[in-house]
């Protein structure tokens, strides 16, 4: 079974369907959207290194997942897309089990999404990939335009934004890859939606106040006999609503302030990068010392030792020189010698936030499924994530301190040992010459 050829055949088939059945109202659920979903699925699949059959299932499912819209189906478009995919795969003589998995992936995209395995999770995340990208605003605008064209009614900006906000807040990515890649931008999109909604609500409130004031002024004479309380009631009610909104805004502002911003994340990223760069520099320095002293030791053992019988006065200087090289190499090796942890963690470690999954030494003996679960649990808790980042930077600093301390000792031994060795050779040659 040639996976690439079948995927290309699916692309050709779906593209021909859109060409033969032009549907001008589908400005969102069109061929461009399908191509974007397939590209996103291939990106996610590349991360998980899917086998050929699994890649075939994911890609074919993405090509057919919205084809039902083209056939006039809206509410049941997943069922129609799955049916068309089966017909196509039958023609391609694809086994029944693969056909079922393709249909399962398509049906998993039905809202609310409910994937049951990794392949279905990839298709679901690819379908709503734009929720965590900067293209969210443009894609949302096209979706609104399509809704108005197909439903025949206009929808206000505030109403649409409120619906988009509900979708963003109730939706969550399923794969660990998308959570790590898209979650931050998704949260930024939510903040922008909330800000836009607040402005629209403020405009609506101001417009409502102006209308109420106008109506009260126009009816003032007619209500001259009414009690002051009756006239003041609508205004008092409006004031209460305004106070409640102000309190809600204050609470939301506090929540935003409590959450670390981009500046903090930039600080973490810059600090980690600097530590890694310093570690790389230390390793390079250690390698230089190891190489230089290895050459010196080779020369001493290969050339000078054989001549010591003729020049017994050089025995002590040669020994000092040799000792200097050996000690320098030992401390240089200690500076670069890696330490490996047990490489395992337990569920209790995750629950109590005792393990740092950002360091390979804590998980290298675990399976991919266990590590994925641990990272998913960690990403649910911002305090755990930032705590792990702080812990990672701290331990990097501790390792760097130890590494540079040993490297400094190595350089000191080499510097002073070289001076003493040269002085010893000079003294031996001048004051203790060999007598013929």
Measured in degrees and rounded to the nearest 5, phi and psi for residue 25 equal -75, -20
Q: Would you list the domain boundaries of the chain?
A: 3-192, 195-258, 262-431
Question: Helices in 49-95 by DSSP H: which ranges?
Answer: 52-64, 67-70, 77-91
Read off the pLDDT of residues 335-371 as tens digits, 9 standing for 90 and up.
888 777 777 888 887 887 777 777 777 788 888 888 8
- The answer to whether the beta carbons of residues 117 and 103 sit under 8 Å apart is no
CA 104 to each of CA 37, 81, 92, 94, 182: distance values in angstroms, whole numbers, following the listed order:
17, 11, 19, 15, 25
Kindly state the helix (H) or strand (E) to which residue 44 belongs, with its residue range: helix 31-48
Whole-model pTM above 0.95? Answer: no
Residue with tokens 């490996």: 340
- The answer to whether the beta carbons of residues 275 and 393 sit under 8 Å apart is yes
Name the band, by pLDDT with cuts 50, 70 and 90, for residue 96. very high
In sequence order, the 6+-apart residues with CB closer than 8 A to the CB of 262 are none
Residue 72 has pLDDT above 90, yes or no: no
Question: CA triplet 303, 307, 312: central angle to 5 degrees?
Answer: 135
Query: What pLDDT shows up at residue 225?
Result: 39
- The answer to whether the beta carbons of residues 403 and 281 sit under 8 Å apart is no
How many C-alpha atoms does 174 have within 13 Å on its Cβ side?
Answer: 21
Token digits for 365? 């003996």
- Smallest CA-to-CA distance from 385 within 406, 424, 356 is with 356
Query: What pLDDT shows up at residue 242?
Result: 56
Residue 301 has pLDDT above 90, yes or no: no
Alpha carbons 425 and 417: distance in angstroms, whole number? 12
- The answer to whether the beta carbons of residues 323 and 331 sit under 8 Å apart is no
In sequence order, the 6+-apart residues with CB closer than 8 A to the CB of 116 are 104, 108
- The answer to whether the beta carbons of residues 34 and 124 sit under 8 Å apart is no
Name the band, by pLDDT with cuts 50, 70 and 90, for residue 233. very low
Query: What pLDDT shows up at residue 10?
Result: 93
Alpha carbons 363 and 367: distance in angstroms, whole number? 8
Read off the pLDDT of residues 367-409 as tens digits, 9 standing for 90 and up.
888 888 888 888 888 788 888 888 888 888 888 888 889 999 9
In angstroms, the first-to-last Cα distance of the chain is: 87
In sequence order, the 6+-apart residues with CB closer than 8 A to the CB of 154 are 148
Query: What pLDDT shows up at residue 58?
Result: 95
- Smallest CA-to-CA distance from 108 within 126, 95, 131 is with 126
As a whole number, the mean pLDDT across the chain is 82
Q: For the packed helices 176-218 and 136-151, what is the interaxial angle rounded to 10 degrees?
A: 60
Query: What pLDDT shows up at residue 220?
Result: 45
Q: The domain 3-192 is classified under which CATH number: 3.30.1380.10, 3.20.20.70, 1.10.1300.10, 1.10.260.40? A: 1.10.1300.10
User: What's the rounded mean pLDDT across residues 322-340?
Assistant: 88
Residue 1 has pLDDT above 70, yes or no: no
Annotate 295-315 with DSSP letters as a single string: HHHHHIIIIIGGGTTT-GGGH
In sequence order, the 6+-apart residues with CB closer than 8 A to the CB of 23 are 30, 69, 70
- The answer to whether the beta carbons of residues 417 and 320 sit under 8 Å apart is yes
CA 94 to each of CA 56, 87, 100, 263: distance values in angstroms, whole numbers, following the listed order:
10, 10, 10, 52
Name the band, by pLDDT with cuts 50, 70 and 90, for residue 431. confident
Residue with tokens 């033969």: 20
Peptide bond into 112 cis (omega under 30): yes
Q: Where is pLDDT greater, at 29 or 232?
A: 29
Annotate 122-175 with DSSP letters as a single string: HHHHHHTGGGGSTTHHHHHHHHHHHHHHHHSS---HHHHHHHHHHHHHH----S
Residue 257 has pLDDT above 50, yes or no: no
């Amino acid at each position: 079974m040639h996976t690439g050829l079948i995927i290309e055949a699916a692309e050709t088939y779906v593209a021909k369907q859109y060409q033969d059945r032009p549907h001008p109202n589908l400005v969102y659920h069109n061929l461009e959207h399908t191509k974007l979903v397939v590209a996103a699925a291939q990106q996610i699949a590349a991360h998980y290194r899917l086998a050929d059959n699994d890649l075939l299932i994911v890609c074919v499912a993405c090509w057919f997942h919205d084809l039902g819209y083209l056939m006039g189906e809206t509410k049941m478009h997943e069922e129609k897309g799955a049916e068309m995919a089966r017909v196509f795969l039958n023609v391609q003589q694809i086994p029944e089990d693969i056909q079922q998995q393709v249909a399962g992936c398509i049906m998993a995209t039905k809202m609310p999404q409910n994937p049951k395995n990794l392949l279905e999770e990839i298709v679901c995340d690819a379908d709503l990939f734009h929720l965590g990208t900067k293209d969210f605003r443009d894609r949302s605008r096209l979706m609104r335009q399509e809704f108005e064209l197909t439903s025949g009614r206009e929808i206000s900006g505030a109403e649409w934004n409120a619906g988009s906000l509900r979708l963003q807040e109730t939706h969550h990515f399923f794969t660990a890859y998308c959570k790590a890649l898209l979650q931050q931008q998704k949260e930024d999109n939510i903040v922008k939606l909330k800000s836009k909604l607040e402005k629209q609500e403020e405009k609506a409130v101001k417009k409502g106040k102006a209308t109420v004031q106008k109506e009260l002024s126009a009816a003032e004479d007619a209500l001259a006999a009414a009690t002051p309380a009756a006239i003041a009631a609508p205004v008092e009610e409006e004031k209460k609503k305004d106070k409640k909104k102000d309190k809600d805004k204050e609470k939301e502002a506090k929540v935003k302030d409590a959450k670390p911003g981009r500046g903090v994340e930039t600080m973490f990223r810059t600090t980690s990068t600097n530590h890694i760069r310093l570690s790389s520099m230390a390793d390079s320095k250690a390698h230089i010392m190891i190489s230089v002293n290895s050459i010196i030791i080779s020369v001493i053992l290969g050339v000078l030792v054989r001549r010591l019988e003729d020049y017994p006065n050089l025995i002590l200087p040669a020994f000092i020189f040799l000792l200097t090289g050996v000690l320098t190499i030992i401390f240089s090796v200690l500076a670069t010698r890696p330490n490996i942890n047990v490489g395992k963690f337990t569920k209790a470690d995750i629950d109590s936030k005792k393990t740092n999954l950002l360091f390979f030494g804590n998980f290298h003996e675990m399976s991919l499924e266990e590590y994925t679960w641990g990272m998913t649990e960690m990403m649910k808790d911002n305090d755990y994530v930032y705590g792990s980042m702080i812990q990672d930077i701290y331990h990097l600093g501790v390792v760097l301190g130890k590494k540079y301390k040993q490297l400094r000792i190595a350089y000191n031994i080499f510097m002073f040992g070289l001076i003493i060795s040269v002085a010893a050779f000079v003294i031996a040659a001048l004051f203790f010459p060999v007598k013929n």
